[in-house]
Structure 1
């Protein structure tokens, strides 16, 4: 599909009152990691989400409040507030607000004043699951039931999640993630190694099936005269991907039996937080700290890869993502180490918001076209007063990504039917 400048604006702007901003405000979406609010009455944190400045705090009961970043009195920043006795107290004049945004104390006014009963700040409901704090930012009357993705149902011992900041619009981050073909090039760590299945067929056939959750798409690589490598991805509206673990050239799965994925959550029009998850699909195989750190380090988002005290990486546009031109000349396509780092270099390098009217899409861009169509349809649905695809938990609860090696000519839908069904209940 051809994206005009006008459609590009419709797809990429996420602030209050924008078509896509209104779409995202009809889903429960991640606001932060639970680990960022480690204990009751811990310090509040800044949250910027869909172009809105907020703060999050865990109150004395352990509940999470997500409220306007500024006090209703004189707009002083509540980030500097005292988190105490089930509320956040502005240090400018002592006004205190609870997790619902209600003003519960106003010590700068006379004790007999009822003024506090007429004052509140914006607040959004929250829900914790999967190591994340989720929020719903849309109209209360259209609030869907809380999400029920399979990875949220996996035991804590069998599930991990991380968060990484990316300096570009959410859509080019999504499109980089759901583009299966680029893994044959950008993520090829040894261009002479033809044992990698994705290197044996660099122009896979893509097929897309629209579904209640978004769409299922198959990357079909004929890797020999006898075998086909199937990568079955799920795109879950509005910005989540689920995929299986890689398998090697002999058909052996790599690493723990697991499913991986990302959620590309807009901070604002030009910045995104990427939430990365992994969950074990076998109760015999929990995910240890050591395994998870090894996995994250291999992708370029290990503990030492972040600017201290942040979720932003040390490697970025300011240092060209550490590109090694000699490594690029002799061994890899990019000369950049780490799958995550390679992705960011290319996605951020397009500019904060890429001009899609200048593109020339090909046959392996079917998933990208499908995502754009569904997002635009969701904007139309919300404008018409409806709810967008995939917002109800029954739409997405029974789906997962899956990789497998099959005999050539096998119908991918039949071969993957069992493997793409969720198992954690």
Structure 2
């Protein structure tokens, strides 16, 4: 159960809110590079942390993120002309460069110095791995650019996408770091009583806090077959990594070696961008395009699953196309797509966000409890002028997630020590 005031503090991310202040101390994904594919291409609307913005790639190939509204008469700059290293408002011709400076004011006298007094909000950007990142906080607090292992993976080993989710960012994140729900919401073959999810529906959670967030594991007791350990990383403020290379402790079983994860970025208090990344965990093995596409389809993000704007075809307006016969005979939810199953549960919770004063959390929720504690601690760190966890790349650059089978009696901290170190 969470106090009402703490729930509000965690969920609201507009400028001037405590959690908005936390997100504004980190570099966050803003848009895909493919959304502004070439120099002087059309600008696009962007909304992050409750702020309406516009992004464009200028004549030098640099991506700008600036205030969405012209400071003259507040017309939307989305309608603007992207030309000669600036975005020109089509209402009266005022033009702004990527730093938000007004560089031309053609409806004023030539001798006027007025343009030098006009400045739009502009946020710094950095482009890497198909993502345009931005920092929206105080200039004097700007941290070093991110150095996650997945950003160092070669293009041949890595894939990224994003999907819109119509709910508050925190319930999306909490769904992502929840371990035990996969035995239910993601059980896509209820007839198979020998599957790992069916054999061990109550994984034991262990959480170790770190300087970047925390690492945690779900331990599933498979009796004579040992323990299946899924080891995660939670990196502040809103990123989770998990492994997908599974081996029996005798080495007899192995799946395609990938690490995947999400980064949740609030759009506003009722919607969130879910950034999805995956990369191969072995530098010698590139990401197979066919495997990658099969995975996207499995998770509900295949080409036939998407609408324009990175939105899912299965959504609340059509009840996520739930198939009750499928639910009765084959899958636990009757909804196709692993992430789509998550969205159905998360997007239909209370609006604008759940009343967590009414929750009853158990031992299966230790990671969720830890995340809330750490996020609330971050709001206090800002008030006290302390450095935030996870803002220094040195704290997290060498970590990764994994999953393995370990013999009984082997502690995961020792047994997975090497597997949880970055290789790129």
For the superposition of Structure 1 and Structure 2, which TM-score range results when normalised by the shorter chain? over 0.9
Provide the C-alpha distance between the structure 1 equivalents of 2:194 and 2:230, rounded to a whole number of angstroms.
Answer: 17
- Residue 295, structure 1, aligned to residue 295, structure 2: yes
Provide the C-alpha distance between the structure 2 equivalents of 1:232 and 1:296, rounded to a whole number of angstroms.
Answer: 22
- 1:67 match: secondary structure: strand
Q: 1:174 touches 1:264 (CA, 8 Å); kept in 2?
A: yes
Provide the C-alpha distance between the structure 1 equivalents of 2:150 and 2:224, rounded to a whole number of angstroms.
Answer: 36
State the match for 2:204 in structure 1: 205
Runs (4+) off by over 6 Å: 248-251
Using the TM superposition, give the Cα deviation of residue 226 of structure 1 relative to its aligned residue in structure 2, in angstroms.
Answer: 4.3
Q: Which moved more, 1:244-253 or 1:140-149?
A: 244-253
Using the TM superposition, give the Cα deviation of residue 291 of structure 1 relative to its aligned residue in structure 2, in angstroms.
Answer: 2.8
State the match for 2:380 in structure 1: 380
Provide the C-alpha distance between the structure 1 equivalents of 2:386 and 2:73, rounded to a whole number of angstroms.
Answer: 37
Provide the C-alpha distance between the structure 2 equivalents of 1:345 and 1:380, rounded to a whole number of angstroms.
Answer: 33
State the match for 1:221 in structure 2: 220
Q: 1:251 touches 1:405 (CA, 8 Å); kept in 2?
A: no
State the match for 2:390 in structure 1: 390
State the match for 2:253 in structure 1: 252
Provide the C-alpha distance between the structure 1 equivalents of 2:63 and 2:3, rounded to a whole number of angstroms.
Answer: 41
Q: Deviations over 1:334-376 (max 9, x none)?
A: 0111101100001111133111111111111000000000000
Using the TM superposition, give the Cα deviation of residue 248 of structure 1 relative to its aligned residue in structure 2, in angstroms.
Answer: 7.3
- 1:177 match: secondary structure: helix
Using the TM superposition, give the Cα deviation of residue 253 of structure 1 relative to its aligned residue in structure 2, in angstroms.
Answer: 3.1
Provide the C-alpha distance between the structure 2 equivalents of 1:289 and 1:402, rounded to a whole number of angstroms.
Answer: 21
Provide the C-alpha distance between the structure 1 equivalents of 2:234 and 2:158, rounded to a whole number of angstroms.
Answer: 20
Once superposed, what is the RMSD of the aligned Cα atoms? 1.3
Using the TM superposition, give the Cα deviation of residue 298 of structure 1 relative to its aligned residue in structure 2, in angstroms.
Answer: 1.1
Q: Deviations over 1:37-96 (max 9, x none)?
A: 101111111100000000110001110100000011111100010111111000001100
Using the TM superposition, give the Cα deviation of residue 251 of structure 1 relative to its aligned residue in structure 2, in angstroms.
Answer: 6.2
Structure 1: gaps (5+ residues): none
Provide the C-alpha distance between the structure 2 equivalents of 1:391 and 1:335, rounded to a whole number of angstroms.
Answer: 41
Q: 1:95 touches 1:105 (CA, 8 Å); kept in 2?
A: yes
- Residue 192, structure 1, aligned to residue 191, structure 2: yes
TM-score of the pair, normalised by structure 2: 0.97
Which residues of 2 match residues 12-411 of structure 1 at below 5 A?
A: 12-245=11-244, 247=246, 252-255=253-256, 257-307=257-307, 309-352=308-351, 353-411=353-411
Q: 2:247 touches 2:404 (CA, 8 Å); kept in 1?
A: no
Using the TM superposition, give the Cα deviation of residue 285 of structure 1 relative to its aligned residue in structure 2, in angstroms.
Answer: 2.3
Q: 2:157 touches 2:279 (CA, 8 Å); kept in 1?
A: yes
Provide the C-alpha distance between the structure 2 equivalents of 1:63 and 1:373, rounded to a whole number of angstroms.
Answer: 38
Using the TM superposition, give the Cα deviation of residue 254 of structure 1 relative to its aligned residue in structure 2, in angstroms.
Answer: 2.5
Provide the C-alpha distance between the structure 1 equivalents of 2:226 and 2:32, rounded to a whole number of angstroms.
Answer: 41
Provide the C-alpha distance between the structure 2 equivalents of 1:124 and 1:226, rounded to a whole number of angstroms.
Answer: 52
Using the TM superposition, give the Cα deviation of residue 314 of structure 1 relative to its aligned residue in structure 2, in angstroms.
Answer: 1.1
Q: Deviations over 1:267-311 (max 9, x none)?
A: 00010000000011223322244332221111111111111x311
Q: Deviations over 1:306-331 (max 9, x none)?
A: 11x31111111111111111111112
Provide the C-alpha distance between the structure 2 equivalents of 1:252 and 1:40, rounded to a whole number of angstroms.
Answer: 48
Provide the C-alpha distance between the structure 1 equivalents of 2:245 and 2:222, rounded to a whole number of angstroms.
Answer: 14
Provide the C-alpha distance between the structure 2 equivalents of 1:344 and 1:315, rounded to a whole number of angstroms.
Answer: 9
- 1:225 match: secondary structure: helix
Q: Which moved more, 1:246-255 or 1:222-231?
A: 246-255
